[in-house]
């Protein structure tokens, strides 16, 4: 059987990690840049509960539109400060395109960031309520957990990452972010009566990082 191609929006050499649905990728006219930032502290992940606007009532990283004249890095830092009241040495972790059938004729291009340190106190704002969740143990996170004990930041009483209250595709790439694996991807959703259903997806990692 011939191997399936990567989505048309993916440029470069990437090795597939996961895909689903058919190959009928939705068309889009333009892309709009957004950011999304995740703070990992020991075995804890900081998410925000969205109190208004797009993604209402979901847990997500902190982020928003890249404003004219800003780089995505600058926008990610600004949004983290505006939405959670903290600063962090954010590192770029991945990129994915999000297109919606029944939605706008443009694609969200979401630049994803991560940081393992932060300064300030996560603080509720008009847009987001910050909440810590526990990161499940794995070989990588076990190392972080050991470091957490040393730093005294471990907390075993936290709830697990609430994938059921996040965007349907987050579980596909968040483990890559947590394990510091750079990724690219594409998700197509269908919007029906304000609800978003994941229809097809593709995520990959740079081929050069594969052994």
Ligand X SMILES: COc1nc(N)nc2c1ncn2[C@H]1C[C@H](O)[C@@H](COP(=O)(O)OP(=O)(O)OP(=O)(O)O)O1
Nearest CB to ligand X, comparing residues 55 and 162: 55
SS3 state of residue 148? helix
CB of 44 to ligand X, least distance (A): 18
* d(C-alpha 131, C-alpha 72), whole Å: 24
CB of 177 to ligand X, least distance (A): 10
CB of 143 to ligand X, least distance (A): 26
CB of 35 to ligand X, least distance (A): 6
Q: Tell me the C-alpha to C-alpha distance, in Å, between residue 28 and each of 69, 163, 182.
A: 23, 27, 25
Instruction: Note whether 85 and 122 are within 8 A (CB).
Output: yes
Sole residue written with tokens 């804890």: 44
Nearest CB to ligand X, comparing residues 61 and 154: 61
Nearest CB to ligand X, comparing residues 118 and 188: 188
Q: CA Rg, the chain, in Å?
A: 17
CB of 60 to ligand X, least distance (A): 5
Strands (E), 42-127: 44-50, 59-60, 91-101, 106-115
Nearest CB to ligand X, comparing residues 148 and 187: 187
Nearest CB to ligand X, comparing residues 110 and 184: 110
CB of 68 to ligand X, least distance (A): 12
Instruction: Note whether 37 and 63 are within 8 A (CB).
Output: yes
Phi and psi torsions of 78, nearest 5°: -65, -45
Phi and psi torsions of 84, nearest 5°: -125, -5
Residues of this chain that interact with ligand X (CB under 6 A) are 34-36, 53-55, 60, 63-65, 98, 108, 110, 167, 169-170, 187
Nearest CB to ligand X, comparing residues 24 and 143: 24
* d(C-alpha 96, C-alpha 93), whole Å: 10
* d(C-alpha 5, C-alpha 7), whole Å: 6
Q: Nearest-CB residue to ligand X?
A: 64
């Amino acid at each position: 059987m011939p191997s399936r191609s990567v989505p048309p929006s993916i440029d470069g050499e990437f090795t597939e990690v996961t895909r689903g649905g058919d190959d009928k990728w939705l068309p889009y006219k333009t892309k709009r840049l957004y950011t999304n930032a995740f703070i990992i502290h020991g075995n804890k992940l900081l998410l925000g509960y969205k109190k208004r606007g797009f993604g209402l009532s979901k847990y997500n990283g902190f982020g928003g539109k890249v404003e004219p004249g800003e780089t995505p890095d600058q926008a990610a830092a600004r949004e983290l400060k505006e939405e959670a009241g903290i600063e962090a040495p954010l590192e770029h972790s991945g990129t994915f395109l999000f297109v919606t059938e029944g939605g706008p004729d443009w694609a969200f291009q979401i630049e994803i960031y991560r940081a393992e340190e932060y300064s300030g106190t996560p603080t509720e704002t008009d847009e987001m309520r910050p909440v810590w969740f526990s990161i499940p143990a794995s070989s990588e996170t076990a190392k972080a957990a050991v470091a957490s004990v040393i730093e005294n930041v471990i907390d075993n009483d936290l709830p697990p990452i609430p994938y059921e209250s996040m965007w349907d595709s987050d579980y596909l790439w968040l483990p890559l972010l947590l394990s510091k694996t750079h990724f690219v991807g594409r998700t197509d959703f269908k919007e029906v009566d304000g609800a978003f259903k994941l229809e097809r997806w593709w995520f990959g990692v740079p081929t050069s990082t594969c052994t």
